[in-house]
Structure 1
Amino acid sequence: MRSDPSSGFPGDPTPNAGRGEPPHALLVCGLGALGQACLQRLQGFGVPLTGCDLRRPMWRSPELEQEFGERLVFGDMRQAAVLRRAGVEHCRAVLLLSQDSQVNLEAALQVRLLNPEAEVVVRASGQEQGLGQLLEQRLPNLAVVNPLMLTAAALAASLHPDAAVTQLTTASGNGSVVLLAGGDEPASGPHRRLRTPEHAGEPLHIALHNGPGRAQADPRPKEPLPWQRLQRWEGWSALRRRPISRPMAAAAIVLISALALGVALFSEQGQWRRGLVVTLGLLQGEYIDPLNLLSRATELQLSLGLLYALLGTVLTSCLVALILERLLSNRLGLQRPQRPRRGSRQVLLMEAGDIAEPLAALLSAQGIGVQHGGLQDGLAGVRQRLHSLRHTELVGIAALSNNLLTNMQAVLEVQQHHPRARLAVLAHAMAASDQLGTLLGGITVISGMDIAADAVVATAFGERVERVVRVRGEHHLVVRYQLTPNDPLTGHTVARLENGYGLNVLTLQRSRSGQLTAIPPLEWQVHAGDELTVLANLRSLQRVEAGQMSPPAWRVELRGTAGRQDGFVVQQVLARFLGLPPGALLNWLDGQWQQTDALDQDVAELLARELQRYRIDCRVVPWQR
């Protein structure tokens, strides 16, 4: 958990490893690409750092080698003696980041035995991730991070055809919180401007998005009508979603035409029911005449009857083959891929691997279908897969293999034929992904290593990262805070958190009532036990960790006449914004100018608007210290 900011950090940023390590030190085990990226980010937090690896790493930066080359502990991170030499008993957090998930989980158990209080961050993927999630529930202060899964949100945002909307939180009963690009504010619903230190470009807004077609349910249940019951039947919905291919349509037309022609040929004296029975009997595949109608028929009718019997034999054989194919598929667990509907929005994922399931879930929730393909057949296989999707609206293509050059070749080929599609490339261990994407133009290059490093660093200080999104080329993390009495966020208003630390509060869940509020009002105060979800970058999280809160710089000057009929209501408004009891504000409405304490600018402007509703003279002015 985060420490009280009043305690401060040790003055020496680079102490020697060992038992003399201060209690705020961090230990990074596994110094591959991810471990070194975490070391670079942790240098700005002012905490002592120690590295541990099985052998001397291949340094990606000369500065890192110069800084940490002589302060490493070599050995197996699963051994208690190696961890003790690295000072694990005195560390506040331990990051286990080797490429072997099994080694990381085994080391996590050893770390927990040696230091029951430290935050343990474990890199895990594949089957080991399930075991890690079970350990999260059993062991306190342990978090499992999967680098591939964290990139799913960033990939989904880059592939979405509407680049102006980025989902930040999971959809709930009231909708989901999204990030909207564009200078215009949302027309309705709670929203707030995104707080970023950079003011270049058009403003971004955080808003509550209910999604298309969402409507409030009628509290009075109504008895569904018969055709409404048919529409609610799951099989009917499946039939409507299933596309009708040309062979199926042609077969249906032939069958209906044969049935109508048979009724006309085998009916006598307008008795169409008899003709229908004979036609159905012949289409069954047997040359029978149950009503003795063909015994008096002409040669043409006999020939047509034989032809109908042959047609019925073919239809019966096809039906039996279809039933057997379905039964065997269900028994063996085989499933034929469904063809996407004509004109539907689709995204093509090439070599998705483990990231396919979470990425498909995010895109499907936004009404976008997901198709899969491979790169093992080269460009010919890519062209063939694109040809099979020619009847759909291809809105995005992502190449996600481990080979960056293969990914680049695939998307550059696709860009020539689908210039309007959004293209994304996953660069697993490349730090300069933004510069590469800018150089290529029209292609989003996402570094899974950078995303994972940001998430691991935030998790090391006790937070839980829900997802990582890209805002103007920079990673922003959706972080969940569980507030404690000594937390630097506890006791402040939402406006103070946003203006003081540069956070963007997305949701607030009260500990007592359990009520979840999206984009809470600025004047609300947060308490111990509450749960906050915020959008922040690493600089903002660093300020929270160090307790570096920017002071408010504005105030409200107001003047109200005495003896007002709505005087008590005005006092309640002031009490809500200033955090004072209404009785302490009795003398504020005496006809003299009064000044509030220092306030954040948006709170001061909101208070001024509220007071102007009651015709109180007021103005917002800078705070003079």
Structure 2
Amino acid sequence: MLLDQFLVCGLGSLGQHCVVALKQFEVSVIAIDKNLPQDWEFSHLPDLLDNVLVGDCRQISVLEQAKIQQCRAAIIVTSNEQVNAETALAVRKLNPKTRLIVRSSKKNLNELLSQHLGNFVAFEPTQLPAPAFALAALGTETLGLFHLQGQWLQVVKRTLSPTDRWCNNSTLYELNTHKRRILYHTSGATSLSKAFHEWEPDTRLMPGDTIVYIETIKPTSTNSKKLVRNTWYNPWHLLTTLKHLNWLTIKQQFITFLRKSDENRFKQLGIICGVIVSFLLLLGTVLYQLSYPQISLIDAFFTSMMLLLGGFGDLFGGFNFTLPVPFWLRFISLGMTITGTILVGIFYSFLTERLLAARFQLNKRRPPVPQKDHVVVVGLGRMGQGIVEILQEFNQPLVGITLNTDFDMTILPEMPLITGSLKRSLSKANLQTAKSVVVVTDDEMLNLEVSLMAYDANPESNLVIRTTGLSLSDNLAELLPNAQVLCVYAVVAEAFAGAAFGENIINLFRVDHKTILVTEYQIEAGDTLNGLLLSEVAYGYGVIPILYQKETEMPKLMPSEDISLVVGDSFAAARSADRMVVLATSDGLQRIEQGSAIATSKTWQVHITKALTEEAQFEGANVLVRISGCSLNTARTVMKNLPETLHVPLYKHQAQRLIIELAKAQVTAHLLRTDSP
């Protein structure tokens, strides 16, 4: 039986943050490091550790001293990826059950290790938080964006204006739909609450209110364009297009084609040349056939073709003609040769350019630096490149700055790029009119210098700064209060800690300095979630279920709160373990891990006064069973003896939703507060 004991290998900045994150779960933590830090980022961290070993974490003897046989998980986060991989192999040799969470950027190696070692997950700290940096740079309402089961979901923070369609018209309960879930709500200038569900369902939205919600969205315009382009390779699509082709559609397509002069310049030139050549070929063939009926149509065609390909000298180079050629026909032939030579030359150059571009993938010239409302990304390492790719998905104008003289110039060819000295590069980036400045180099002191220079150049820009040290993050936040200072290790450590408990951390994002983890659960035997309604999971543990799936069924996004979680057993093969994805803070993960639901909030009951009809009485009983989880006999008894109180303790949101649903069934009810859970 594995105890609640965890091993952290490597006590650098990331390792220390992982220790702090783990201790929030009130577990035992042992650490190994070859050389203990001279200056601890957390002065009290040695007191948090149950044991600290100085040695090489790859050695079997050191791992045995750390009692690896009793460790539930090992978080391996040294700065050397080779050491991390070797340590993972050594740990698996000693304990086949310990969960391995490894710091590594080797994607292919990570997949191979996961297959061979099992119970293995790898993260790259510089890539995991890239979406958080990119969304911070956008300065928009979008706080998070991730892909789940073939569907895009976004997290939005929205402050309502007086003209907003939700103002004075909608309640918070009405905004919770099969495509949207409310996370936070606040009125006026007050800050957002620390926990989910701290809002009243019947609250009517007013101007100045701020809400944070998650919703499903359609593919981006970029993806839609790709989809349209790909359909041209579908023969069925081509047949359908040809079937509906007529003069009107041809005219509309032609006008659209001409209007897009910039996009279709080469295509337009090629089409014009082809049309003129075809016309001259047809004209020459007709003229020679009419002038000399004794020659065949094929000979007239090839004579015209020879003239267009520059064969005037071959045809009229001598003075003895077998057939007399009129002067006007010779003049037309000369014009055909001149025109054909020019047009065929243009046509050849067009084909040559296309063939060379396709064959050698010639590097196109990078676009110019935007003049205003752009994002300046300083530092194009792995994190910087990830940020740029996300910004490009949003079609956000940007410019990249790298101070690395060995930077691969073939990377991100569609991005404006500035290289050279720091001052010169910043002066070229149009900082004064920039929308945001993202500083994500690997050098913290350089980040500090660039941030201060960017602030001096444009105090109004949205400044996003990468740090790895906690003290620098705190000091920068005080020095530049309007900047968004993101400590990379503080953000990703929560993902490492969550993964240590066997959960799959799919993604993460930030909401008002809080890290929200997108976490996947498989309901297992003895699980604290087994048998609970999703409403009890949501309100009891303070999480937001956003996906539910039975193994044999399609997944459901924004699932109903009335679904009950079950786990398969050996005697019922037809039943399978449920899968659930939730939004959770580290506090929520901790409550689920320890099975400590917020029982003090389950202090509400519903008093039912009357049902307007017998049908309402029948339907009301079904609503009671569905939302409260009580038995059908209990529900029928309550509905037959109205007025009556349903003596089932409920969470406030759960009870309020029950009253709303009863009202839809023509049953009136109201809330009752109980003294004890």
TM-score when scaled to structure 2? 0.71
Matched, 1:192 2:181: yes
Query: In the alignment, what sits opposite 1:490?
Result: 530
Relative to structure 2, which stretch is displaced further, 412-421 or 583-592?
412-421
Classify the secondary structure of the residue corresponding to 1:522: coil
Query: In the alignment, what sits opposite 1:543?
Result: 591
Structure 2 CA distance for aligned equivalents of residues 227 and 64 of structure 1: 75
Matched, 1:24 2:4: yes
Query: In the alignment, what sits opposite 2:89?
Result: 109
Relative to structure 2, which stretch is displaced further, 79-88 or 566-575?
566-575
8 Å CA contact 1:283–1:312 kept in 2: the answer is no
Structure 2 CA distance for aligned equivalents of residues 48 and 72 of structure 1: 12
Are the structure 2 counterparts of residues 252 and 522 from structure 1 closer, same or farther at C-alpha, using a change threshold of 3 Å? same
Query: In the alignment, what sits opposite 2:353?
Result: 322
Q: Which amino acid aligns with 2:214?
A: I
Query: In the alignment, what sits opposite 2:71?
Result: 91
8 Å CA contact 1:523–1:603 kept in 2: the answer is no
Query: In the alignment, what sits opposite 1:351?
Result: 379
Classify the secondary structure of the residue corresponding to 2:650: coil
Structure 1 CA distance for aligned equivalents of residues 369 and 243 of structure 2: 24
Are the structure 2 counterparts of residues 545 and 70 from structure 1 closer, same or farther at C-alpha, using a change threshold of 3 Å? closer
Structure 2 CA distance for aligned equivalents of residues 77 and 485 of structure 1: 34
Are the structure 2 counterparts of residues 208 and 305 from structure 1 closer, same or farther at C-alpha, using a change threshold of 3 Å? closer
> Among residues 547, 555, 569, which one is paired with 2:619 in the alignment?
569
Query: In the alignment, what sits opposite 1:578?
Result: 628
> 1:245-272 CA deviation, whole Å, 9 max, x = no partner?
69968x959x98xx89x99xx99xx99x
Query: In the alignment, what sits opposite 2:669?
Result: 618
> Among residues 569, 577, 580, which one is paired with 1:532 in the alignment?
580
Matched, 1:224 2:240: yes
> 1:315-364 CA deviation, whole Å, 9 max, x = no partner?
5885586367436514xxx5436659999997554433223565455445
Q: Which amino acid aligns with 1:118?
A: T
Query: In the alignment, what sits opposite 1:203?
Result: 211
> 1:411-434 CA deviation, whole Å, 9 max, x = no partner?
666678888865433224456537
Are the structure 2 counterparts of residues 244 and 124 from structure 1 closer, same or farther at C-alpha, using a change threshold of 3 Å? farther
Unmatched segments (≥5 aa) in structure 1 = 4-21, 231-235
8 Å CA contact 1:178–1:209 kept in 2: the answer is no
Measured after TM superposition, the shift of residue 87 of structure 1 is 1.4
Measured after TM superposition, the shift of residue 614 of structure 1 is 3.1
Are the structure 2 counterparts of residues 431 and 553 from structure 1 closer, same or farther at C-alpha, using a change threshold of 3 Å? farther
8 Å CA contact 1:555–1:622 kept in 2: the answer is yes
Structure 1 CA distance for aligned equivalents of residues 513 and 155 of structure 2: 17
Structure 1 CA distance for aligned equivalents of residues 389 and 579 of structure 2: 25
Query: In the alignment, what sits opposite 2:506?
Result: 466
> Among residues 467, 470, 479, which one is paired with 1:427 in the alignment?
467
Q: Which amino acid aligns with 2:18?
A: C
8 Å CA contact 1:180–1:206 kept in 2: the answer is no
Matched, 1:166 2:143: yes
8 Å CA contact 2:179–2:558 kept in 1: the answer is yes
Structure 1 CA distance for aligned equivalents of residues 264 and 633 of structure 2: 81
Matched, 1:374 2:402: yes
Structure 2 CA distance for aligned equivalents of residues 582 and 287 of structure 1: 98
Matched, 1:593 2:644: yes
> Among residues 654, 669, 675, which one is paired with 1:603 in the alignment?
654
Are the structure 2 counterparts of residues 554 and 67 from structure 1 closer, same or farther at C-alpha, using a change threshold of 3 Å? same
Q: Which amino acid aligns with 1:583?
A: N
> Among residues 142, 155, 158, which one is paired with 2:120 in the alignment?
142
Structure 1 CA distance for aligned equivalents of residues 263 and 144 of structure 2: 38
Structure 2 CA distance for aligned equivalents of residues 64 and 155 of structure 1: 29
Matched, 1:154 2:132: yes
8 Å CA contact 1:470–1:476 kept in 2: the answer is yes
- Of structures 1 and 2, the one scoring higher in RCO (CA 8 A, sep 6+) is 1
Are the structure 2 counterparts of residues 245 and 283 from structure 1 closer, same or farther at C-alpha, using a change threshold of 3 Å? farther
Q: Which amino acid aligns with 1:102?
A: Q
Classify the secondary structure of the residue corresponding to 1:624: coil
Classify the secondary structure of the residue corresponding to 2:8: strand
Structure 2 CA distance for aligned equivalents of residues 621 and 482 of structure 1: 35
Measured after TM superposition, the shift of residue 112 of structure 1 is 0.9
Classify the secondary structure of the residue corresponding to 1:136: helix
Classify the secondary structure of the residue corresponding to 1:597: strand
Query: In the alignment, what sits opposite 2:57?
Result: 77
Q: Which amino acid aligns with 2:403?
A: L
Matched, 1:479 2:487: no
Are the structure 2 counterparts of residues 116 and 431 from structure 1 closer, same or farther at C-alpha, using a change threshold of 3 Å? farther
> 1:484-542 CA deviation, whole Å, 9 max, x = no partner?
1212122222222222211121211223x332111222222222221221111112222
Classify the secondary structure of the residue corresponding to 1:203: strand
Classify the secondary structure of the residue corresponding to 2:643: coil
Are the structure 2 counterparts of residues 352 and 618 from structure 1 closer, same or farther at C-alpha, using a change threshold of 3 Å? same
Structure 1 CA distance for aligned equivalents of residues 49 and 153 of structure 2: 46
Structure 2 CA distance for aligned equivalents of residues 514 and 416 of structure 1: 57
Are the structure 2 counterparts of residues 612 and 443 from structure 1 closer, same or farther at C-alpha, using a change threshold of 3 Å? same
Classify the secondary structure of the residue corresponding to 1:355: helix
Are the structure 2 counterparts of residues 294 and 553 from structure 1 closer, same or farther at C-alpha, using a change threshold of 3 Å? farther
Classify the secondary structure of the residue corresponding to 1:543: helix
Question: 1:287-298 residue pairs with structure 2 within 5 A?
Answer: 288=313
Are the structure 2 counterparts of residues 148 and 541 from structure 1 closer, same or farther at C-alpha, using a change threshold of 3 Å? same
Structure 2 CA distance for aligned equivalents of residues 83 and 445 of structure 1: 37
Classify the secondary structure of the residue corresponding to 1:462: coil
Classify the secondary structure of the residue corresponding to 1:540: helix
Structure 2 CA distance for aligned equivalents of residues 584 and 348 of structure 1: 63
Matched, 1:521 2:560: yes
Query: In the alignment, what sits opposite 2:232?
Result: none
> Among residues 490, 499, 524, which one is paired with 1:450 in the alignment?
490
Structure 2 CA distance for aligned equivalents of residues 485 and 24 of structure 1: 18
8 Å CA contact 1:181–1:203 kept in 2: the answer is yes
Query: In the alignment, what sits opposite 2:249?
Result: none
8 Å CA contact 2:30–2:66 kept in 1: the answer is yes
Are the structure 2 counterparts of residues 531 and 168 from structure 1 closer, same or farther at C-alpha, using a change threshold of 3 Å? farther
Classify the secondary structure of the residue corresponding to 1:401: coil
Measured after TM superposition, the shift of residue 445 of structure 1 is 2.7
Q: Which amino acid aligns with 2:652?
A: Q
8 Å CA contact 1:180–1:207 kept in 2: the answer is no
8 Å CA contact 2:399–2:429 kept in 1: the answer is no
Cα RMSD for the two superposed structures = 5.0
Measured after TM superposition, the shift of residue 440 of structure 1 is 2.5
Structure 2 CA distance for aligned equivalents of residues 252 and 415 of structure 1: 48
TM-score when scaled to structure 1? 0.76
Classify the secondary structure of the residue corresponding to 2:671: strand
Measured after TM superposition, the shift of residue 154 of structure 1 is 0.7
Structure 1 CA distance for aligned equivalents of residues 594 and 356 of structure 2: 65
Structure 2 CA distance for aligned equivalents of residues 380 and 282 of structure 1: 58
Identical-pair percentage: 21
Classify the secondary structure of the residue corresponding to 2:606: strand
Structure 2 CA distance for aligned equivalents of residues 540 and 69 of structure 1: 23
Structure 2 CA distance for aligned equivalents of residues 27 and 401 of structure 1: 30
Q: Which amino acid aligns with 1:542?
A: Q
